[in-house]
């Protein structure tokens, strides 16, 4: 038996470019036959700097987690696994990276992850048992990170608003023996269900997903 997970989903509560409220996003994925989704809302310096200066870092993270928490609550109600991830952008580059293996407590305890570079984050991530997966590395204006700075690559990005040149991402992952994931990059209803992976067990947390991908680096991909 296989189970379908979307590895790249956004919410309107947290991602400035998100257009679908988290609860509705969870319902749409349940209706589409998915077992689970990973909420990967955008995490970058300007997002946090736009919050009130007198907020503590814990308060800022609670604000950031609004979309995830609402999707999780709805997922619990309707029977959809909702996992915590992020789409991280470092302060010195425009590329984006999916990160798995997170908890809310970890995000409070380790502030300002965007102050890393991709070169420094790979060491940090391995120390803390995270996975770093470059999202849409061949999208126009972006370029792949050095392979030794990555655990994996999003080899299929289903967002219809961009040409992610997925074939180049797949070639890069295969050439360097990197973990392969697929995600819809869903911001709008039209993008729901445009990507994902089939796996052979149900995973309930971001840490379980990270562990699974380490053990199964080339899961079967779903394309729209």
* pLDDT one-digit tens code per residue, 184-214: 999 999 999 999 999 999 999 999 999 999 9
State the pTM of this model: 0.97
CB 90 within 8 A of CB 117: yes
Give the CA angle between residues 16, 46, 142 to the nearest 5°: 80
Alpha carbon separation from 8 to 24, 51, 76, 134, 192 (Å, rounded): 16, 24, 19, 11, 10
CATH number, residue 61: 3.20.20.140
Tens of pLDDT, residue by residue over 143-176, are: 999 999 999 999 999 998 888 999 999 999 999 9
- Burial classification of residue 37, based on how many CB atoms lie within 10 Å of its CB (0-12 exposed, 13-18 middle, 19 or more buried): buried
Is pLDDT above 80 for 223?
no
Q: How confident is the model at residue 109 (pLDDT cuts 50, 70, 90)?
A: very high
Going by pLDDT thresholds of 50, 70 and 90, the confidence category of residue 224 is: low
Tokens of 48: 């946090």
User: 19: domain range?
Assistant: 3-223
Percentage of residues of the chain with pLDDT beyond 70: 99
Residue percentage of the chain with pLDDT more than 90:
96
| pLDDT above 70 (res 39) | yes
Determine the 3-state secondary structure of 26 from DSSP: helix
Number of domains in the chain: 1
């Amino acid at each position: 038996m296989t189970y379908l997970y979307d590895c790249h989903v956004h919410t309107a509560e947290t991602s400035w470019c998100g257009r679908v409220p988290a609860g509705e996003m969870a319902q749409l994925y349940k209706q589409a036959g998915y077992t689970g989704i990973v909420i990967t809302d955008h995490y970058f310096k300007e997002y946090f700097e736009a919050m009130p200066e007198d907020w503590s870092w814990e308060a800022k993270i609670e604000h950031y987690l609004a979309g995830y928490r609402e999707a999780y609550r709805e997922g619990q109600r309707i029977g959809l696994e909702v996992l915590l991830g992020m789409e991280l952008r470092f302060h010195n580059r425009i590329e984006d990276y999916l990160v798995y293996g997170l908890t809310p407590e970890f995000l409070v305890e380790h502030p300002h992850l965007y102050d890393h570079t991709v070169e420094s984050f790979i060491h940090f991530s391995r120390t803390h048992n995270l996975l770093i997966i470059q999202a849409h590395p061949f999208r126009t204006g972006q370029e792949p990170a050095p392979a030794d700075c990555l655990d994996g690559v999003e080899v299929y990005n289903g967002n219809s608003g961009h040409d992610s040149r997925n074939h180049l991402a797949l070639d890069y992952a295969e050439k360097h023996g990197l973990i392969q994931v697929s995600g819809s990059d869903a911001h709008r209803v039209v993008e729901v269900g445009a990507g994902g992976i089939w796996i052979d067990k149900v995973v309930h947390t971001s840490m379980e997903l990270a562990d699974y991908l380490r053990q199964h680096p080339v899961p079967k991909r779903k394309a729209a």
